[in-house]
Amino acid sequence: ADLVAFATDELEAAVQVFHVRGGRVRGQRGSVVEKTGDAVESADELAVLVEQFLTQFYGEQVAIADDDSEPVTVVPREVLVPVLPPDAEQVQQWLSDLRGSAVHLRVPQRGDKKALAETVQRNAMEALAQHKLKRAGDLNARSAALQGIQDALDLDSAPLRIECIDVSHVQGTDVVASLVVFEDALPRKSDYRHYAIREAAGDGRSDDVASIAEVTRRRFLRMKADDAAPEKSAPERPRRFAYPPNLFVVDGGAPQVAAAAEVLDELGITDVAVIGLAKRLEEVWVPGEP
């Protein structure tokens, strides 16, 4: 059997696998991965993580085995997980097909398997705790990185909050924008946003430039609205966007940066630095500079 366990926080998941062969633990593997959007947004996060891990882990193992001249049995007769994935029967059949004989996908309920599963779970929790300690120890490195951005862009202060906009086309027609947020140099996924572009098509500018202008206006109008809301309403509504980022990053070069800067000027916002990232040549663009 293989026994799989997870420990998670808001951003990451630690996974541990114990390989039991001939009645003994013959090996173990562990890693910490960033949780994908599907897992973060799912009500049954653990079940989604289980499915994602099983398909990736055993798919990769079989691919490695196929490249080997010696036959390798990479899928055991039994795979024990903390919860069943959403499509448990389909995943079980896929594992059986990989193995070439029946594989049972189960949640251990009692006895030695249950006790060993608890051990694997403790290992996963310890691995995540150690990872978080190391991440906390990286505070000095993160501070130095923010200082480096401040110096490179000649900002008044280190950009403790950074917001970034990327515009993309869905199925060739619908235009959407994604807003991602970093605080203290770490992703703040609870503040991520998606915008359906509503008005840019008739703007007269290119899609990307007009979309950047629309999203910038909507984001900072929201800030002004939150800022003007009565204090007594604070417990009733989120106020995460009631304060500006130190640095606003747009996807693109001079035209996109100019569009965002023009909106900020129009709204009377003077304390937000704007830059553009042009991915093709990894260029950084600053308003008004060649």
Residues 6+ apart with CB under 8 A from 174: 196, 197
pLDDT of residue 223: 82
Rounded to the nearest 10°, the torsion over CA 210, 214, 220, 225 is 160
Query: In this structure, what DSSP letter does residue 43 have?
Result: T
**Phi first, then psi: what are they for 261, rounded to 5°?**
-65, -35
pLDDT of residue 244: 86
Residue 262 identity (one-letter amino acid): E
Reading the chain (290 residues) residue by residue, the pLDDT tens digits are 999 999 998 888 999 999 999 888 888 999 998 877 665 555 688 999 999 999 989 988 766 555 544 434 589 999 999 999 999 999 999 999 999 999 999 999 999 999 999 999 999 999 998 888 887 777 788 888 899 999 999 999 999 999 999 988 766 567 889 999 999 888 888 889 888 887 665 555 567 899 999 999 999 988 877 666 665 544 444 556 667 899 999 999 999 999 999 999 999 999 999 999 987 677 899 998 88
Q: What H or E segment, with its residue span, contains residue 251?
A: strand 247-251
Residues 6+ apart with CB under 8 A from 144: none
Residue 215 has which token pair?
A: 């999203």
pLDDT of residue 239: 59
Q: Give me the residues paired with residue 202 across strands.
A: none
CB 8 within 8 A of CB 14: yes
- Euclidean distance between CA atoms 4 and 130, whole angstroms: 19
Quick one: residue 42, left, alpha or beta (phi over 0 = left, psi -120 to 50 = alpha)?
beta
CB 165 within 8 A of CB 249: yes
Q: Residue 117, class by beta-carbon neighbours within 10 Å (0-12 exposed, 13-18 middle, 19+ buried)?
A: buried
Residues 6+ apart with CB under 8 A from 289: none
pLDDT of residue 217: 93
Closest C-alpha among 33, 56, 112, 43 to residue 80:
112
The pTM assigned to this predicted structure is: 0.54
Residue 274 has which token pair?
A: 């704007």
Give CA 22 to chain center in angstroms.
Answer: 39
- Euclidean distance between CA atoms 286 and 155, whole angstroms: 12
pLDDT of residue 40: 53
Residue 22 has which token pair?
A: 């001939």
CB 162 within 8 A of CB 245: yes
Q: Give me the residues paired with residue 274 across strands.
A: 248
- Euclidean distance between CA atoms 252 and 225, whole angstroms: 28
Q: What H or E segment, with its residue span, contains residue 152?
A: helix 139-153
Residue 133 identity (one-letter amino acid): L
- Euclidean distance between CA atoms 275 and 104, whole angstroms: 53
